[in-house]
Amino acid sequence: MGNIPTDEELNRLAAASYMLQSLEQEVAALEKNLADTKERLRVQSEEVIPSIMQELFMSELKMANGTKIVIKRSYFGSISKERAHDACQWMREAGYGALVKNEVSLSFGKGEDDQVDGAVKVLIEAGYVPAHRETIHPQTLKAWVREMFEAGKAFPYDLFSAGSKPVAVIQIDKK
């Protein structure tokens, strides 16, 4: 067993522990403040400024300091887990199958390293059932949605939770 700590050592440990607790609370408060500030930024750039500029029939504002506020379209899309198979199937049938990623994974137990080298067919023949998942990378989907909107091509928006919205973007004059 170790030595019994002195009151001074225990006080030093207590002070360091209170400091740790205080820092954790400070970080939590800063993270909440950051989240709140990001939401206010989103509202300003996606709702307030685009709305005012639309009312004024403006798409750009040059400020006295040389900064420009420009309205650009922002595109978005996402695929729910429930609709992933249908969305990937639609992409294949519509000629966009190259955007679909296929992931096949298989879990092995301890000591089965030698069996990992086989292909999916060999694994199935050996009695294993690999997991198969179809995905489209979020940035790939966003770029594709933008291309479809800009080209005026129809696609099932609801299947991809797709849309677009005006967003105010700051452009700083680089002089």
Per-residue pLDDT tens digits of the chain, which is 175 residues long: 568 999 999 999 999 999 999 999 999 999 999 999 999 999 999 999 999 999 999 999 999 988 999 999 999 999 998 999 999 999 999 999 999 988 877 666 666 666 555 555 677 787 877 777 778 889 999 999 999 999 999 999 889 999 999 999 888 877 6
- For residue 4, the model assigns a pLDDT of 93
Q: Is residue 50 packed enough to be buried (19+ CB in 10 Å), middle (13-18) or exposed (0-12)?
A: buried
- For residue 117, the model assigns a pLDDT of 57
Q: Are residues 32 and 94 in the same domain?
A: no
Q: Is residue 68 part of a domain?
A: no
Q: Are residues 90 and 148 in the same domain?
A: yes
- For residue 125, the model assigns a pLDDT of 82
90: domain range?
75-100+136-171
User: How many domains is the chain partitioned into structurally?
Assistant: 2
Q: Are residues 11 and 94 in the same domain?
A: no
Distance CA 81, CA 121 (A): 26
Q: Are residues 87 and 15 in the same domain?
A: no
- For residue 115, the model assigns a pLDDT of 56
- For residue 119, the model assigns a pLDDT of 58
Q: Are residues 80 and 41 in the same domain?
A: no
- For residue 113, the model assigns a pLDDT of 63
Identify the helix (H) or strand (E) that includes residue 93: helix 84-93
Q: Is residue 2 part of a domain?
A: no
- For residue 112, the model assigns a pLDDT of 66
The answer to whether 67 touches 172, Cβ cutoff 8 Å, is yes
Count CB neighbours of 160 within 10 A.
22
